[in-house]
Amino acid sequence: MATRTEFPTRPAALEPSALSNEEVLRYSRHLIMPEVGMDGQLKLKRAKVLCVGTGGLGASLGLYLAAAGVGHIGIVDFDVVDRTNLQRQILFSSADIGRRKTEAAADRLHGLNPDIQITAHETRLTSENALELLKSYDIIVDGTDNFPTRYLVNDACVLLNKPNVYGSIFRFEGQVSIFGYPQGPCYRCLYPEPPPPGLVPSCAEGGVLGVLPGIVGAIQAAEALKLIIGKGEPLVGRLLLFDALAMRFRELKLRKNPDCPACGVHPTVTRLIDYAEFCGVREQESPGSESSVPEITPLELKLRLDRGDDVFILDVREPHEYAICNLGGYLIPLGDLPRRASELDSSREIVAHCRSGKRSAEAAALLRKAGFGKVLNLKGGILAWSDEVDPSVPKY
């Protein structure tokens, strides 16, 4: 008990070089480990970590960083909590639906650990604000779910010389590594070019097992904590692959690419660029080809069906989506459409639909190319149908 008296009783905030008695109690399971100890806990207290994104990864890692006593945690997000988040984003409760994610997350993390500072950056991370935002943090943890932001975080970390604890998830599989570490590779060493837009589906399109971001985010948190206390072997130059379905971890060796445009010998990425353009996302978001497909709104379709018009409804989603809800349409998943188009009658008017209108726009374009003259895309898909025509149809 003699050591107790060494700690001042005044608030820890005034004395960043020591812990209060309450903090000693809170972190006792860290303090009794020689690898952490008082020295490591004070390093945690002085550390500044930025979590990019408060989705599934950000939820798990944010909670563990806060619980561990990381003194300053920044969170960046611009979204609001919606019901589909709650299956995996354990930072939020049902009562948070509709709230700003940064606000709900800050409340939750403060509730968990009132001794730490939480800075909520209610914004989208962009090429304009990233360097300014990242520069005051020691470690960046990337919990984003899209390629433009991932390349943006990578390049900003390389330019600022900050370690980037990367994690990504999809369905049952996750990846973790540390990029931007001195002498270590970066995300561009691994993936010099983004995949063609639309090739890699997002979690919103492909789904994700709820617990997966919890596991991957916890691994990211563990790596961030190790970096801070300076112990162990960081996940640098190694890509950890996790398959929850097989319950297996694998590891790939990653080498720093001397020709890497970001971190190579002669880098060409010397400032932040337009990442939406780099990833080809812009064309995807304001689709040239898709918008050229004639559309019908849910209300118009409803009126025409009620009038008894001969309209053939083609559902291009997957069978498991059809089981969630449907409009009684004929089901041909988009991927099967090229070889099954002959099942359709080209003389009839066809309205193609999917969940949001994106896949069905592709389907309609495909059918028009194949000679179907009267194909319309249902604008906004079954989601819009639920909003505008029939709220009893569940949204997913």
As annotated, the active-site residues are 203, 354
Helix axes 381-388, 298-306, angle to 10 degrees: 70
Q: Specify the DSSP element, H or E, that contains 295.
A: strand 295-296
Nearest approach, Cβ of 32 to Zn ion (angstroms)? Answer: 40
What ranges in 172-291 are assigned the alpha helix state H? 187-190, 203-206, 212-229, 275-278, 281-285, 288-291
What is the SS3 assignment for 254-269?
CCCCCCCCCCCCCCCC
Comparison of 50 and 186: residue with beta carbon closer to Zn ion: 186
Q: How many CB atoms lie within 10 A of CB 315?
A: 26
The one-letter code for the residue type at 208 is V
> By the 8 A CB rule, do 143 and 53 touch?
yes
What distances in angstroms separate CA 325 from CA 50, 304, 345, one per listed residue? Answer: 40, 21, 24
Fill in the per-residue mask, 90 to 129: x = in contact with Zn ion (CB under 5 A), - = not in contact: ----------------------------------------
Least separation, in Å, of the C-beta of 262 and Zn ion?
Answer: 5
Closest to Zn ion by CB, 186 vs 221, is 186
Q: Which of residues 186-205 bind Zn ion (CB under 5 A)?
A: 186, 188-189
239 counts as binding Zn ion under rule CB under 5 A: no
Q: Which of residues 17 and 183 has its CB atom nearest to Zn ion in the complex? A: 183
Asked if 260 interacts with Zn ion (CB under 5 A), we say: yes
- Could you tell me the smallest distance in angstroms from the CB atom of residue 181 to Zn ion? 11
Is residue 156 a contact point for Zn ion (CB under 5 A)? no
**Residue tagged 């188009």 (tokens):** 341
Tell me the window of 93-101, 262-270, 285-293, 308-316 that interacts with Zn ion (CB under 5 A). Answer: 262-270
Query: Within positions 161 to 190, which residues make up the interface with Zn ion, using CB under 5 A?
Result: 186, 188-189
Q: Are strands 72-77 and 48-52 parallel, antiparallel or unpaired?
A: parallel
Residue with nearest beta carbon to Zn ion: 260
Number of residues that bind Zn ion (CB under 5 A): 6
> Out of 263, 352, 365, 384, which residue is the one contacting Zn ion (CB under 5 A)?
263
Q: How far is the CB of 227 from Zn ion (least distance, A)?
A: 18
State which residue, 74 or 180, has the beta carbon closest to Zn ion: 180
Q: Which of these ranges, 59-67, 112-120, 252-260, 290-298, lies near Zn ion under the rule CB under 5 A?
A: 252-260
Q: Is 2 exposed, middle or buried (0-12, 13-18, 19+ CB in 10 A)?
A: exposed
Closest CA to 367 of 331, 338, 343: 338
Return d(Cα 331, Cα 297) in angstroms, integer. Answer: 20
| Contacting residues toward Zn ion, per CB under 5 A | 186, 188-189, 260, 262-263
